[in-house]
Each structure stands twice: as C-alpha cells, then as structure tokens.
Chain A
Amino acid sequence: MINILVALYAFFLNLLAVSIGMAFIYSVARVLNLAHGAFFVLGGYLATALITSLGPVPGALATAAILAALPPLLYLYVRFARDELEQLFVTYALLLLMEGLFKLVFGYGNYTLADLAAGLGAVFIEGQRIPNAYLLGGAAVAGLMAVLYILLYKTRLGLYMRAVSDDSEMAAALGVKSPLVQHLSIFLGVFTTSLLGAVAATWQAYTLGLSAEVLIYAFAALVIGGLGNLWGVAAASALVAAVRTATVMVYPELELLAIYLVVIAVLLVRPGGIFTRHARVA
C-alpha cells in the first residue's frame, strides 16, 4: 500500500512541476509557450552543472540568479508574435534554438542531482524507503504554489493579472497596463518553470531531446485542468497520477495510453477542461 502511495505522490509531483509554469503563462498572457519544456530542462541543466561545480548553496543561488535574468530573452522574442499562430512559430523556433544551445554548452550526457539528493537520506515507513528528496521536492513545489496563490489573490498585481486573464481589453479600458501585466506574467511563468526544472533535477535526469517530451505532459495537464487554470492543473496532475498508477498496477500494457485516455475522457465530458468556470473572452 505504502508503495502505491509513493508512486502516486511521485508522479503527481513530477507532473505538477512540469505544468504549473505553462498554465500560469497561458492563463494570464494567453501565450502557448511551446518552448516551455526547454525552460524546464534549462533549469535542470543549470542547477546540476552549477551545484556540482560550486557546491549546494552558491550553486543554487547562481542558478536562481541566471534563471531570473533569462525571461527578458523570451520577452524580446514573444514581442515579435502578434497572434497565436505566430506565437506557435516563435516559441517552437525557440525550443529548437535552445536544444541546439544545450548540445553546445552541456553536450550529450545526462545531468541530474539525484546523487546529491540520495545523500539526504530516506524515511522508512512499513519497511519501505521513501527518499527525503521527494518530500523536500514536494515542499518546494507546494511553497511555489503558495507564493503564486498569494501573488494572484492577495496583491494588487495579482488582481490586475486576474483581470487581464479574464478580459484584457476591458482591463485596459479600466486603466490596467495590460501588455505590461502580460509580460510580467511571462517572466514569472518562465522563471517558475525553470526553478521547478531545477527542483526536479533531484529525481530526474536531463539530456538532449527532453524538452519536447516534457511539453507533451505539460500540455496534457493543461488541457485536462482547463486551459489556463492553475488549480485545474493541480487537479489534473492528481487525476493523471491516479490513472497512471492504477494502470501500472492492474494492466501495465496500457501505460503508454493512460495519459491520453484521460485527456480524451475529459474532453468528451467537459470539453473546456475540469475547472473551467465560464467561457473565456478571446
């Protein structure tokens, strides 16, 4: 039993880490960031490289500093895109560009902090090892979710973000600087994404080609949860984790399809996703 719970928890954590940033950017700025996976992977690469060479604390600080300085890059880039189609082109091009840069800078090897994380030890429940890294990772993800929650619901900027998310023209008419708010949320979303990528380096390895794989999972969670709904993404991750774990336990042949079956089922029953309250204004 405890083993099933660990599996559920680990996959939930994994999926949540992968999808929060993408949901955030889409919900406020309406940018479907196809380079999302690449930013996640970038966080993992940087954290591994810097923490193994500089040591845990300076490495983590350096990683955070570099990651915070990166979003302006995306800003410059996304400015060129005027509509959704251009966004897709522009962000997909960015994905390819970043993959090329990864090969140039990090080579073709595997990057992971799992060994460092293993040094954190484990707790034993019913004789089963539960790595502390999973628990700390969970705490990190929960902390980030809390920060995003406070930002969105307890601050003025959050109010603007929600207003822009609901109807950016109306928000602009009422005096909100819509484009500025959108760009800020892109910064935040990308920063969150790469930070979570860095956290996930404690349980997974990064290598070339992973950006596109990450994107598929994030996109599935986004669609299931309801496009652009932060809490929907959390519910979607839990749902997919439950279905996937059940599949592996009962009928592993189907695992390849599990996540897509959930997507199809949700789209059939609630085409807008689980957590869509009302139709969005374009």
Chain B
Amino acid sequence: MASRRDLLKMGVSFVVGLGVGAGLTSLLRPQVAQVSPTGTTTLETPKPTTTAAGRKRDVFKLGVVTFQTGAASIFGVPALNAAQLLVEQINQAGGILGAKVELVVRDESGGSDKMIAVYRELTQQAGVDAYIGLISSADCLAVAPVAEELGTTLTVFFDCATKQLVDKDMMKKVTFRTGGTTVTDGVSLARYVLEVMPDVKTVVGLNQDYAYGRDEWSDFKNALLTLKPDVKVLDELFTPLFSTDYSAQISKILDLKPDLVHTSFWGPDLVNFIKQASARGLFQQTRVAFARGEFGLYEGMPDGQIVEGPHYHGFPDPKAYSINRDFVNAYTSRFGSPPPYPAYHMANAILGVKYAFEVAAAAENVGWPDLSAVVKVFKRLAYPAPGDYIIMTPNHNAMRGAVVGVSKGGRLTSLKYMHPAEVNPPVGVVSDQWIKSL
C-alpha cells in the first residue's frame, strides 16, 4: 500500500519528468503547429534545408516502403535490394540533378492505418523529396487519398495492382503508379491461354480469399469468358490467406477434372499448392495458369504450366537490350539469384522518379523543378527501364505490357510479350466495361 508521502513523491516525479521530457523534445525537434485547410491540426517539423525552387540540392531523400517482415517479404526484400542497387548506380553516375540519393526505408507491415501514419511521418517529418512504396492493394487505397490531400510529395506506387486506383480516378495530383493492374494480369493470361489451349472447355479458379485474389480471378474469368464464351467455369475456390494445407481443394479439382486451373497464389501458398498438387498428381491431369507463378519456377513447378510474370528476367532479351542485361548481371552477382518481378517494379518506380525530375528541370530550365512541374512531366513521360519501356498516361498510371510463358526446367519458355494496348483499358474507360468489350 503506497503511503501519502509515496503518492506525493510519485506525483512530483511525474510532473518533473513531464517537464524534462517536454524540454528535451523541444530541444531535439522544433515543431510548429499548423492548421491545414481541412481543419485538422498537424504538427510539422520544418525541413532543415528549405531551398527555394530552382536552386540545386545536395541530397535527394527518397522514401521507400515495402514489406521487410512477414510472408510478403518475398516481394519486399527483392524490391528493396533493387532500390539499393539502383540508387548506388544513380549516385555513381552523379545522382539526380547532381543531388545524392539517400534512401529512407520503412517496413510495410502493420496494416493500412499504419501506412498512413508512415506516409505522414516520411513526408512531414523525415521530409522526403519523393515517396515510393506499397505492395498491398489495401495499403495503396488507404494512402492514395492522404497523399492527394496533403499534396506535398511526389508519391509513386510501385507494385500494388488494384484497378480501383484508375477506375475510381484516385490518382490526380501527386500520386502515380508505374505498374499495371489485375486487369493487365487477367487479360494477358487469358489471351495466352487461348493461344496455347485453343480448345479449353472447363476452368476452375483457385485464389486467396481477399481483395487481390478475388480481383485476379474475376478479371481473368471475365476476359476468358468474353474471348471464348463457351468455356465453362466448374467452380470458384477461395482459400484463406496462408493456409498450409490445400488437400481439400486439390481433391475437388481432381474430381472435377477441369482443362485448366487459374490461380494467383503467391508466397507460401504458391509453394504449398505446387508441392501438394504435385504429390497428388494434379499436374498430370490439369494445366494450371499462374498469375504470380514466377517464384514457383524456383520451387519445383512442373513443366508445361502457364505463368504470367508482370516481368521476367529473360525479357526483353538481355542479349539485345543492354539495360536489362546490366540489371540482371548486377542483381544476380550481388544477391545470388536473378531479379524477380518486384525488383523490376521497383526499378520502374525509381527510374520514373529520376527521369521525371530530370525532364522537368530541363523543360523548365531550372536547377531543381518544383512539384507541379514534375507532376506535369511525369504523366506524359516514357522512359527506358530494365524490363520494358514504361509509358505513363494522363490518368497517372503506366500502360504496362505483360510477359507470359510456359514453365520448363525452372525457366519460362515460349515467352510472349502482350502489348500494353491489348491488356489495359484505354485512359478513361472503366476496366469491367472494357473487358466486356473485348
């Protein structure tokens, strides 16, 4: 039982502690309360180096947010690897407009509310000059409105594939995406399936039960049914994310005997499905089309399966296209394996930021362009990246093609590049309407 004196002591030390704490904080970080136009009060730390637009800078702070923990690290780690590799190369070549690029890295784990907090922290406190991030669609959908409302920082989504960003016109001011959508995946996969299996009659969908899995399936299904209306969907299976056992689904597919199974499984789910389905002989009976199968190539994927990578290191042919050759060589020699598609996605975003700043400075004839100039340039920019020429459009999204192939001995063969115009709706057309018009 605490006596009154103890309570008093505690009270005093509490107050003293508060005072010391407050004093220290104000010493460490000068903060200015600001009332934003929307009426919410935010604490902002003034940037230590407020340079006027136009003058050259020494440092370009680039915020990068990808998964560094949890199952999605399988995407996040290669993406960050690529970011570090490219930033080193850019710095060796003189940086962006003479400014040395410094990465400010954050983990994407923690959910979309946390990603909003991280976005505010990076843009308002760490003062990044550009933000690149986000693998999860939910995170992109949460951060996009915040980025647009703040409007302070060039924001590039490098990987998330939700079509809502374009269908709902959510990227208008400072937000961009240098990648395609689930529509790109679904339509390219459907077109390729019909090329190699023109007689396909029956299909079963096997996808993870969350927004991404459902989008991938519905876009693929709608495209396939539009392009070949007599295909029958025998079943649509949705599994909880990170199930470790797929025996029930495999049993059902074995009993249904479809010509084709479509799956957008990734991470441990992809590996578990490949291993368990191989053990049960599923691949001898049915062909599988993988929307995210690239990682499965290194995990014993049987030959003859159809795999769509948004990118694949064998395309464009490294012998012909030196930008890809240099990227593959540098990445492989440093990290021990060829760059998977998230590494390409990161390259697309980083090079996009670099070119947007450089072209804007040249167009405005200034040493350092302001944000509005960068945005104006970025939405009409086309630039070379390791996996493709990236073409940005006025809806702030890239017109991305896709690479599809057939697995053979842990590699993709019979690669086919699907032209952006054939696998994406034109600017201003809603995805579902466009798929129905194929």
Residues of A within 8 A of B (CB): 3-4, 6-7, 9-11, 14, 99-100, 103, 107-110, 112, 114-115, 117-118, 122, 128-131, 133, 200, 203-210, 213-214, 244-245, 248-249, 252-253, 255-256
Bound-complex Cα distance A110 to B245 (A): 15
- A209 close to B248 (CB less than 8 A): no
Q: How distant is A263 from chain B, measured CB to nearest CB, in Å?
A: 14
* Residue from the list B70, B238, B252, B271 in contact with A253, Cβ < 8 A: B238
Please tell me if the beta carbons of A3 and B278 are within 8 angstroms of each other in the complex: no
CA A214 – CA B237 in complex, angstroms?
22
Chain B residues in 8 Å Cβ range of A253 = 236, 238
Within 8 A of A (CB), among B205-262: 209, 235-240, 242, 244-245, 247-252, 254-255
A-B contact pairs, 27 of them (CB 8 A): A3-B251, A3-B252, A6-B251, A9-B247, A11-B245, A11-B247, A14-B244, A14-B245, A108-B74, A110-B271, A114-B278, A122-B281, A128-B254, A129-B280, A129-B281, A203-B276, A206-B268, A207-B71, A207-B73, A207-B268, A209-B70, A213-B242, A245-B248, A248-B249, A253-B238, A255-B238, A256-B240
Q: Which residues of A contact B242 (CB under 8 A)?
A: 209-210, 213
Inter-subunit contact A209/B254 (CB<8 Å): no
Using Cβ atoms and an 8 Å threshold, which residues of chain B touch A203? 245, 275-276, 279
Residue pair B74, A117 in contact (C-beta under 8 Å): no
Taking a contact as CB atoms under 8 Å apart, the answer to whether B268 and A114 are in contact is no
- Let me know if A133 and B238 touch, CB within 8 A: no
Knowing A118-B279, A255-B209, the reply to whether A6 touches B73 (Cβ < 8 A) is no
Q: Whole-angstrom distance from the CB of B184 to the nearest CB of chain A?
A: 26
Residue of B nearest to A244 (CB): B248
For the complex, what is the distance from the CA of A9 to the CA of B248, rounded to whole Å? 10
Q: Which of A107, A112, A256 has a CB less than 8 Å from the CB of B271?
A: A112
Asked, given contacts A208-B71, A209-B242, whether A7 binds B279 with beta carbons under 8 Å apart, the answer is: no
Instruction: Pick the contact of B278: A100, A118, A205, A209 (CB < 8 A).
Output: A118
User: Using Cβ atoms and an 8 Å threshold, which residues of chain B touch A133?
Assistant: 279
Other than the given A110-B74, A131-B280, A207-B71, 11 more pairs (CB < 8 A) read A3-B251, A3-B255, A108-B77, A109-B74, A128-B280, A203-B279, A204-B275, A207-B271, A210-B71, A210-B244, A256-B209
B248–A204 touching, CB < 8 Å:
no
Residues of A within 8 Å of B281, CB to CB, are 122, 128-129
Q: Is the interface of A mostly helix, strand, loop or mixed?
A: helix
Which residue from A11, A115, A122 sits with its C-beta under 8 Å from B248? Answer: A11
Distance A203 CA – B277 CA, assembled complex (angstroms)? 11
Q: Is B69 an interface residue (CB 8 A)?
A: yes
Given the known interface contacts A3-B251, A248-B249, A252-B236, the answer about A209 and B69 at a Cβ–Cβ threshold of 8 Å is yes
Give bound CA distance, A101 to B346, whole Å: 26
Pick from B240, B247, B267: contact of A207, CB below 8 A.
B267
Which residues on the B side are within 8 Å of A252 (C-beta)? 235-238, 249, 252
A244 to B245: give the CA distance in the assembly, Å.
Answer: 11
Q: When the two chains form their complex, are residues B276 and A249 in contact, meaning their CB atoms are under 8 A apart?
A: no
B279 in contact with A117 (CB, 8 Å): yes
Given the interface pairs A208-B71, A255-B240, the reply to whether A7 lies near B275 with Cβ below 8 Å is no
One of B74, B279, B300 near A131 (C-beta < 8 A)? B279
Tell whether, in the assembled complex, residue A110 and residue B299 are in contact, meaning their CB atoms are under 8 Å apart.
yes
Chain B residues within 8 Å of A210, by CB:
71, 242, 244, 268
Q: Is the CB–CB distance between A249 and B73 below 8 Å?
A: no
- Mark each residue of chain B from 178 to 215: 1 if its CB lies under 8 Å from any CB of chain A, else 0: 00000000000000000000000000000001000000
Complex Cα gap A133–B131 (Å)? 48
Instruction: Indicate if B348 sits at the interface (CB-CB under 8 A).
Output: no
A208 touches B70 (CB 8 A): yes
User: Please, which residues of chain B bring their CB within 8 A of the CB of A128?
Assistant: 254, 280-281
CB-nearest residue of chain A to B209: A256
A115: which B residues are within 8 A, CB to CB? 275, 300
Contacts of A213 in B (CB 8 A): 242, 244
Decide yes or no: A4 and B275 within 8 Å by CB, A14-B244, A209-B71 being known contacts.
no
Residues of A within 8 A of B72 (CB): 209
CB distance A208 to B240 under 8 Å?
Answer: no
A9 to chain B, nearest CB (A): 8
Produce 1/0 per residue, B419-434, CB < 8 A to A: 0000000000000000
> Which residues on A sit within 8 Å (CB–CB) of B239?
255-256
- Chain A residues closer than 8 Å to B279, beta-carbon distance: 114, 117-118, 122, 129, 131, 133, 203
Known: A103-B69, A110-B299, A209-B71. A7 touches B268 (CB 8 A): no
Q: Mark B68-104, 1 if CB is under 8 A from A, else 0.
A: 0111111011000000000000000000000000000
Q: For the complex, what is the distance from the CA of A114 to the CA of B268, rounded to whole Å?
A: 13
Complex Cα spacing A209 to B267, Å: 11
Q: Which residues of A contact B244 (CB under 8 A)?
A: 14, 200, 204-205, 210, 213-214
For the complex, is B123 an interface residue (Cβ under 8 Å from A)? no
Q: Nearest Cβ in chain B — how far from A216, in angstroms?
A: 9
* Residue in chain A with minimal CB distance to B240: A256
Residues of A within 8 A of B268 (CB): 110, 204-207, 210
Whole-angstrom distance from the CB of A218 to the nearest CB of chain B? 12
- Nearest 4 A/B pairs, CB to CB: A209-B70, A114-B275, A3-B251, A10-B247
- Asked whether B275 lies within 8 Å of A256 as measured between CB atoms, the reply is no
Smallest Cβ distance from A264 to chain B, in angstroms?
A: 16
Q: Does B324 contact A (CB under 8 A)?
A: no
Asked if B263 is at the interface of the complex by the 8 Å CB criterion, the answer is: no
Known A-B contacts A115-B300, A207-B71, A252-B237; A4 and B251 likewise in contact (beta carbons under 8 Å): yes
Q: How far is the CB of A142 from chain B (nearest CB, A)?
A: 18
